[in-house]
């Protein structure tokens, strides 16, 4: 497809979609609902030999298989680990909540175990003002994610979903959760949630279409495109804003036969069929230090990124999640700048 570019100042692109469902500063309580896989991150700085030992590619995100199970114990036993309440969607939700400054602006659904890790996440979320509505499964342990920070500062993720893999769509029908869904005007789910509960995503998506609300999603990882293609296609019609990075976009382009041009791929995703006819789909693709690409209504735009000096870089864990969280915080406040 034809492409038209407009270079913009180095700012986060924000859509006039905000005007369609905007709230005032005093009306933010419960405005955003996020649903995903809550995980306790076990983060450690490790040598490249650890990645090689477990067959983990640098800067990748994978689901743990049997050969990865010893990794979690090895991190705890042999390295200085940090425990962080995480999971991609919860990370973005936490950043958004922090940036809005309004207690209860964000709500979160996910499944945890009835254990110390689950309680730790509940307490941390509540402390920053998030309204967590976890489904607690006493037969499962809370999910964990090994965050491997290599000597270059890149992070690789190995996820053991555990309880997170047992979220049930029936949780949405409970009175408390139904009320949260009804009150929210914006919804966000990372692509990782496609591996757990497509039914939940479709339920929220149908509600959003009926009520003319806004749904956001993230491609999240190349393996989502490669191995959960059917689920992604089923959810895509409900998505008003799709986030991703260059490797995820390339995986999508390969699947569709669109080549490797990120702008062409972004425009192709933007043009895929939608369930609603009252707004087009915006696609936002980040590329690390390279320009962020935004596609909407047949137009492609680029937004330069201010490069951070290497000496200020700690690691890249959660960078994409924080980008989404920051974007959402401004969108729900009613920022009407067009990308």
List residues with catalytic annotation: 321
Q: Look-up: residue for tokens 């976890």?
A: 134
| Residue 50: closest CA among 147, 144, 143 | 147
Phi, then psi, of 29 in degrees rounded to 5: -60, 120
Q: Look-up: residue for tokens 């995480």?
A: 86
d(CA 22, CA 11): 20
| Residue 37: closest CA among 187, 160, 178 | 160
Indicate left, alpha or beta for 80 from its phi (over 0: left) and psi (-120 to 50: alpha): beta
CB 161 within 8 A of CB 65: no
| Residue 292: closest CA among 14, 1, 92 | 14
| Residue 324: closest CA among 3, 41, 36 | 36
- Count Cβ atoms below 10 Å from residue 103 Cβ, excluding itself: 14
């Amino acid at each position: 497809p034809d492409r038209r570019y407009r270079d913009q100042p180095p700012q986060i692109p924000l859509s006039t979609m905000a005007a369609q469902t905007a709230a005032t500063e005093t009306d933010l309580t419960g405005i955003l609902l996020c649903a995903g896989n809550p995980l306790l991150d076990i983060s450690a700085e490790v040598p490249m030999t650890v990645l090689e030992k477990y067959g983990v590619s640098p800067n990748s995100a994978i689901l743990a298989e049997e050969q990865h199970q010893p990794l979690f114990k090895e991190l705890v036993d042999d390295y200085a680990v940090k425990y962080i309440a995480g999971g991609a969607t919860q990370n973005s939700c936490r950043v958004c909540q922090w940036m809005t400054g309004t207690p209860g602006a964000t709500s979160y659904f996910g499944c945890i175990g009835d254990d110390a890790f689950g309680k730790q996440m509940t307490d941390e979320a509540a402390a920053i003002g998030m309204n967590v509505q976890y489904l607690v499964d006493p037969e499962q342990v809370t999910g964990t994610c090994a965050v491997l920070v290599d000597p270059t500062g890149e992070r690789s993720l190995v996820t053991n979903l555990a309880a997170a893999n047992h979220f049930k769509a029936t949780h949405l029908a409970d009175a408390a959760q139904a009320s949260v869904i009804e009150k929210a005007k914006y919804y966000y789910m990372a692509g990782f949630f496609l591996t757990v509960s497509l039914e939940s995503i479709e339920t929220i998506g149908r509600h959003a279409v009926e009520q003319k609300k806004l749904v956001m999603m993230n491609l999240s990882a190349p393996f989502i495109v490669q191995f959960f293609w059917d689920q992604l296609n089923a959810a895509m019609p409900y998505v008003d804003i799709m986030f991703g990075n260059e490797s995820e976009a390339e995986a999508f382009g390969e699947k569709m036969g669109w080549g490797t041009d990120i702008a062409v791929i972004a425009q192709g995703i933007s043009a895929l069929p939608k369930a609603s006819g009252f707004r087009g789909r915006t696609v936002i693709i980040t590329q690390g230090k390279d320009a962020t690409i935004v596609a909407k209504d047949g137009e492609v735009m680029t937004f330069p990124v201010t490069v951070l000096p290497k000496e200020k870089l700690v690691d890249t864990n959660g960078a994409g999640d924080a980008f989404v969280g920051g974007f959402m915080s401004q969108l729900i406040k009613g920022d009407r700048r067009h990308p």
